[in-house]
A and B are shown apart, each in its own frame.
Chain A
Amino acid sequence: MASEMLPDEEYEVQDLLLNVGPQHPSTHGVFRMVMTVDGELVKDVVPYIGYLHRGAEKLCETMDYRQGIGFMDRTEYLAGHNAELSYVMAVEKLAGLEVPERAQWIRMILCELNRLSSHFMFMGAFGIDVGVFGTPFIYAWREREAIIDLFEEISGDRMMYAYFRPGGLAWDVPTNFVQRVKEVLVSSKTGIKDFDGLLTDNEIFRARTQGIGYISAEDAIDYGMSGPSLRGSGVPMDVRKDEPYLYYDQIKFEVPVGKNGDVFDRYICRLEEMRQSVSIIEQCLEHLQPGPIMPERMPRMLRTPPGEVYVRTEAPRGEYGVYLVSKGGNRPYRLKVRSACLSNLQPLKQMSVGQYVADAIIVLGSIDIVLSEVDR
């Protein structure tokens, strides 16, 4: 109708620059996108990052190995245990420390619980992006609260745990640990079931997510994506399977992969991964035996020989790697954090160009970014 009244030849048609962020609920942190839109269609996306840069890598170079742990939590605030694990494992590899069995199992349990809590957070925030306002977010908060309460009982803090140490754990878990984990798992299972019922088969949800934000497996690999965002495109890459660390080689679990590489497949991968995490934790609990949690002889101040290591682990958002160079002494010479979110953010333009503005927000939500990890 409008085009009949206003023929394009007589009026100059201009693209509109649309600024989203840096402080906007749908950008999941301080992230800014400048979109060029033609009506409702996105023609170009320019992301701006760096608002949350705190120089954690450089800070760690001025500190000894124990002091750096607290900063690792802050690089990835939704999955602090996973971030600590990479760092601590890198230091252990460099220093040649043997970690006791019990400490390893506890680490595994905590990391998988952290994956659960992080994915719950994704489910809630993603629900809001899609337009189911409130309901999934509150459901996610309910389940995440149970897990975080457990972390508080173990480590003392709800988000910045500082619980892993080079060599093992800071202190042992409470005596009712196994029972408490089982309680939390019961509530998590209910939560996963709730999300499955609420979102997966919902026609509106499917219409909003299926066929949106497509990226092919080849492109995803080229961009260096990892984690559930990559597996949604059908690449069965999981560091836990490919290069087992801790005791993941003694545990039976599957790596869920998607087929279509769209937003819905990334969602369904995460949902399935949560079920796998529950099963991993249940198996770990069976292996948990009393015993020491630190090597018998630990120096008061940990010093490492010169060398360099790269350790990667599977964090909830993908491959979280720590590259550590030491020239001897008690502090790293260089520390580099390979953040999964930064790589996952790269194909944002490719995934959102040609979509509607509202869908570009869903695409951003589907890669589950944590801006503190992108900027570090």
Chain B
Amino acid sequence: MKGLAKSMWTTLAVFARKPVTRDYPTYHKPLPERDRAFPLLLWDKQIDEPFCTGCHACERACPVECMTVLMKDNPNHRSVGGNSGRRKIIDKFWIDYARCMRCNICVEVCNFDAIAMNNTWQGHELSVYDRKDLVMDLGALTSLSHGGGITEWVPVVGQANEA
């Protein structure tokens, strides 16, 4: 009986504590800046085009082969009267979010810091009725960054904190 009383006392003591429950659909907990949802492409606001040059580095490094990249000549390049320094630019880009396993490797291999993991709640709440709807095209991938809805965190691999 003594042990039972102790158990009951424990539950009573816990009952008196402050609740820790987060009321999820009505309350979204603030996400840390490193939060990893799904990859998206970043938008170069100065020149008004994506950072991505379509170099295929992420496509080759992806373990689950969820990316498809097509490159084109940049119509906005300086040589043809534009204001961009990028000779090549992304033409079409698809990421199959249903295949992606969010390993962050695409962000690490990118030479242009053009891809980042979505660290907003929009990257987590992605329920659709058809899995084909999870194949994101260039417009969908850049829209969040283009609209300024994200403060991305692009890690430098192996870099230590400053002492």
**A-to-B contact residues, CB < 8 Å:** 63, 66-71, 74, 102, 135, 139, 142, 145, 152-157, 160, 162, 165, 167-175, 194, 197-206, 290-294, 298
The stretch from B46-54, B84-92, B98-106 touching chain A is B98-106
Q: Is the CB of B104 within 8 A of A172?
A: no
Q: Is the CB of B160 within 8 A of A70?
A: no
Q: Is the CB of B3 within 8 A of A203?
A: yes
- Residues in A whose Cβ lies below 8 Å from that of B32: 152-153, 156, 174
Q: Is the CB of A155 within 8 A of B11?
A: no
**A201-B2, A204-B4 known; A154 vs B34 contact (CB < 8 Å):** yes
Interface residues of B in 61-83 (CB under 8 A from A): 61, 63
Q: A200-B3, A203-B3 are known; give 16 further A-B pairs, CB within 8 A.
A: A63-B63, A67-B61, A68-B63, A152-B35, A154-B34, A155-B34, A156-B36, A170-B158, A171-B155, A174-B34, A194-B10, A201-B2, A201-B7, A291-B160, A293-B160, A294-B157
Contact with A along B102-132 (1 / 0, CB 8 A): 1111001000000001010000000000000
Residue B159 CB within 8 A of the other chain: yes
What are some 12 contacts across the A-B interface (CB < 8 A)? A63-B63, A67-B105, A157-B36, A160-B103, A170-B104, A170-B155, A171-B157, A171-B158, A201-B3, A204-B4, A205-B3, A206-B3
Residue B16 CB within 8 A of the other chain: no
Q: Which residue of A lies closest to B31 (CB)?
A: A152
**A67-B61, A198-B10, A201-B3 known; A156 vs B117 contact (CB < 8 Å):** yes
- Residues in B whose Cβ lies below 8 Å from that of A298: 158
Kindly identify which residue among A70, A167, A171, A202 contacts B103, using a CB–CB cutoff of 8 Å: A70
Q: Is the CB of A156 within 8 A of B6?
A: no
- Residues in B whose Cβ lies below 8 Å from that of A293: 158-160
Kindly identify which residue among B6, B103, B105 contacts A197, using a CB–CB cutoff of 8 Å: B6
Kindly identify which residue among B4, B35, B161 contacts A172, using a CB–CB cutoff of 8 Å: B161
Kindly identify which residue among A157, A194, A290 contacts B102, using a CB–CB cutoff of 8 Å: A157
Main secondary structure of the interface of B (DSSP, over half): loop
- Total B residues in contact with A, Cβ cutoff 8 Å: 34
Q: Is the CB of A139 within 8 A of B14?
A: yes
- Within the complex, the shortest CB–CB distance from A324 to chain B, in Å, comes to 17
- Residues in B whose Cβ lies below 8 Å from that of A71: 63
Kindly identify which residue among B36, B102, B158 contacts A167, using a CB–CB cutoff of 8 Å: B158
Most A CB within 10 A of own CB, among B102, B119, B157: B157
Cα A369 to Cα B6 in complex, Å, equals: 29
- Residues in B whose Cβ lies below 8 Å from that of A200: 3
Cα A70 to Cα B20 in complex, Å, equals: 31
Q: How many A-B residue pairs have CB under 8 A?
A: 106
Most A CB within 10 A of own CB, among B6, B117, B160: B160
Kindly identify which residue among A156, A165, A198, A202 contacts B34, using a CB–CB cutoff of 8 Å: A156
Q: Is the CB of A156 within 8 A of B35?
A: yes
Cα A55 to Cα B7 in complex, Å, equals: 44
- Residues in A whose Cβ lies below 8 Å from that of B63: 63, 67-68, 70-71
**A145-B20, A170-B104, A194-B14 known; A202 vs B7 contact (CB < 8 Å):** yes
Q: Is the CB of A160 within 8 A of B105?
A: no
Q: Which residue of B lies closest to A142 (CB)?
A: B20
Cα A342 to Cα B121 in complex, Å, equals: 37
Kindly identify which residue among A63, A156, A203, A290 contacts B160, using a CB–CB cutoff of 8 Å: A290
Q: Is the CB of B11 within 8 A of A202?
A: no
Cα A43 to Cα B161 in complex, Å, equals: 60
- Residues in A whose Cβ lies below 8 Å from that of B34: 152-156, 174
Kindly identify which residue among B10, B14, B20, B101 contacts A160, using a CB–CB cutoff of 8 Å: B101
Q: Is the CB of A197 within 8 A of B36?
A: no
**A67-B105, A135-B11 known; A168 vs B6 contact (CB < 8 Å):** no
**A67-B63, A170-B157 known; A202 vs B3 contact (CB < 8 Å):** yes
Q: Is the CB of A172 within 8 A of B159?
A: yes
Q: Is the CB of B161 within 8 A of A175?
A: yes
Cα A205 to Cα B6 in complex, Å, equals: 12
- Within the complex, the shortest CB–CB distance from A335 to chain B, in Å, comes to 14
Q: Which 6 A-B pairs have the closest CB atoms?
A: A294-B158, A201-B3, A156-B36, A197-B10, A70-B103, A67-B63
Cα A66 to Cα B107 in complex, Å, equals: 13
Q: Is the CB of A198 within 8 A of B11?
A: yes
Q: Is the CB of B163 within 8 A of A290?
A: yes
Kindly identify which residue among A155, A165, A173 contacts B157, using a CB–CB cutoff of 8 Å: A165
Kindly identify which residue among A145, A162, A194, A203 contacts B104, using a CB–CB cutoff of 8 Å: A162
Cα A298 to Cα B159 in complex, Å, equals: 12
- Residues in A whose Cβ lies below 8 Å from that of B156: 171
